[in-house]
Amino acid sequence: MLRPKKSLIAEMLLAQHLVTQEQLNAAFEVQRKTDKRIGQILVDLGFIEEDKLLHLLAEQLHIPYIDLRNYPINEETVKLLPEFYSRHLRAIVLKDNATSILVGMVDPNDLLGQEEIERILKRKIDLALIREDDLLYVLDSIYRRADEISHFAETLSAELKPNTLNLFSDTQDFSTEDMPVVNLLRSIFEDAVQINASDIHIEPGLNVLRIRLRVDGVLQEQIIPEKAITQALVQRIKLVSGLNIAEKRLPQDGRFTIAVKNKNFDVRVSTIPVQFGESLVMRLLNQTDILLQLDQIGMPDEIYQYYSQVLTASYGLILIVGPTGSGKTTTLYASLNTLNKPEDKIITVEDPVEYRLPRVNQVQVNPKIDLTFASILRAILRQDPDIIMIGELRDQETMEISLRAAMTGHLVLATLHTNDTLSSVTRLIDMGAEGYLVASVLRAVMSQRLVRRICHECITTDPLTVSEKTWLKSVEHVNTIETVFKHGAGCSYCHHTGYRGRIGIFELLPITAELADALRKNDTSLFYKLAPKQPLYRSLLQSGLALADRGITTVQEIIRMSGEI
């Protein structure tokens, strides 16, 4: 926001009937207590839209207002002004003309800032007004840590002389805080947090090191031609994770905590020996974020209403199914958030425990000491629980104990690695469960997937290819004949991918009386025939195409998902 004279701004806003005198008086009262800019206060109080105010101020200053969300950003042009000055002066270089440079500023009245920019650029500047939130987002997108990571990698490689690092040594210590490996790791983590990555992959190759970050389910790669640093990097991570640095032949799992950009992360570490060394994957679990509530994970209203009702049952089994990375854990934790009350005892069996929940007794599986899902479950039943959450039904014994627990007065939530709701029920039977037992305890099965959302800043119409149109016809989606589908053209907000964030696709199968009867008779063919006719049943494919119809995701994403199912 700018700092124009209060009386002039008030006069302009009143003259154009954008605010009332009462609203201005309320804003001035807040300003006396907070010393905020009057324009920002008016926006915060909801008296005026920020866009309207910015257009008005730009008109007053006789400069253009530029919406960075729709402006074609050139990264090389932006980098004419170093990152420190861009953030400090709240400015960005937008266009390099022959005689001058166009610079967007949050506060074009900052004369000292203008002089500093001209001194750095050594050119005359023209000004434009920009929004501060847009500026910071663009800077975060452009000033990634790729260059910094490469620089620290080169520095570390130069310091790791052959006599300094013995690749076969088991006693090398990298715990000194001023070593370049720490700077390299810090840059990698900052880059991952900046783009909201869920995983960091460190993979040694032939004379190169690949660092790949998973963003919205898709990996982004940076290749570093510094093979020598791999050992130091992996060894440092193994040290802080409590792993055996001498063991390089077997997979290991560990974890550690780290603070990055004022956020606390629990980092799960997995190592595995590969052809050129040890491959390492780190899962970032943000402990600072508040866990999602059930109504925030994107369920359609009808599914949310039914699923919430099923959660109130005093006993029974609820299955959440899908492949790895489909969001099952998020749904389970959101469900536990809903169920977490002082009057109910909740015990979970997890491998691993990802988020710590207050009042919930969470047990970590440890096969090394025979602390398995089945052995924990047997002990749990003697702990007088009301609700049990099982991370995964992996074997027959775990499944049988879970069914017995659901039948004897416990509400059991569990996951299963199957592709859809229908195959989940037959999977239980294939694992040895009796049909009558499944029929008596199974309340509902919900399958889910995650697909990428279209970036709202660059969304545009999507002219489908011939093969995509053919695919739509093949799945008999009759409503797409006149549908105008959308996709993202790519911009700095989405790192030119066209996607930003993810959304869940859900398939719910309530176990009705007629389905339960089919299970009691062990008639799976009848079960498969009746299931799609249930009122709330909508296949994953149908749910995904509904999102594409609404312009939330793309047809390409649904095709990618349908390849899995």
**Mean pLDDT for back-to-back runs of 10 residues, the chain (565 residues):** 49 74 82 73 80 82 86 86 88 87 88 90 90 85 65 58 37 47 84 88 88 88 78 86 88 87 86 90 81 81 92 92 87 90 91 84 85 87 90 87 90 90 89 89 93 90 87 69 81 83 92 91 89 89 90 91 70
Three-class DSSP labels, 354-389: CCCCCCEEEEECEHHHCECHHHHHHHHCCCCCCEEE
What are the CA-CA distances from residue 423 to residues 324, 392, 430, 439 (Å)? 16, 16, 10, 15
294-450+502-539 in CATH: which number? 3.40.50.300
* Residue 552 and residue 485 in contact, taking contact as beta carbons nearer than 8 Å: no
Residue spans per domain, the chain: 6-131, 144-286, 294-450+502-539
Q: What pLDDT does 394 receive?
A: 84
Q: What pLDDT does 168 receive?
A: 30
Q: What pLDDT does 357 receive?
A: 85
Q: What pLDDT does 453 receive?
A: 92
Q: Give the whole-angstrom CA distance, residue 362 versus residue 269.
A: 20
Q: What pLDDT does 178 receive?
A: 44
Q: What pLDDT does 103 receive?
A: 93
Q: Give the whole-angstrom CA distance, residue 429 versus residue 438.
A: 8
* Residue 490 and residue 458 in contact, taking contact as beta carbons nearer than 8 Å: yes
Q: What pLDDT does 107 receive?
A: 84
Q: Give the whole-angstrom CA distance, residue 181 versus residue 186.
A: 9
Q: Give the whole-angstrom CA distance, residue 165 versus residue 157.
A: 10
6-131 in CATH: which number? 3.30.300.160
Q: How many residues does the chain have?
A: 565
Q: Which CATH architecture has domain 144-286?
A: 2-Layer Sandwich (3.30)
* Residue 51 and residue 17 in contact, taking contact as beta carbons nearer than 8 Å: no
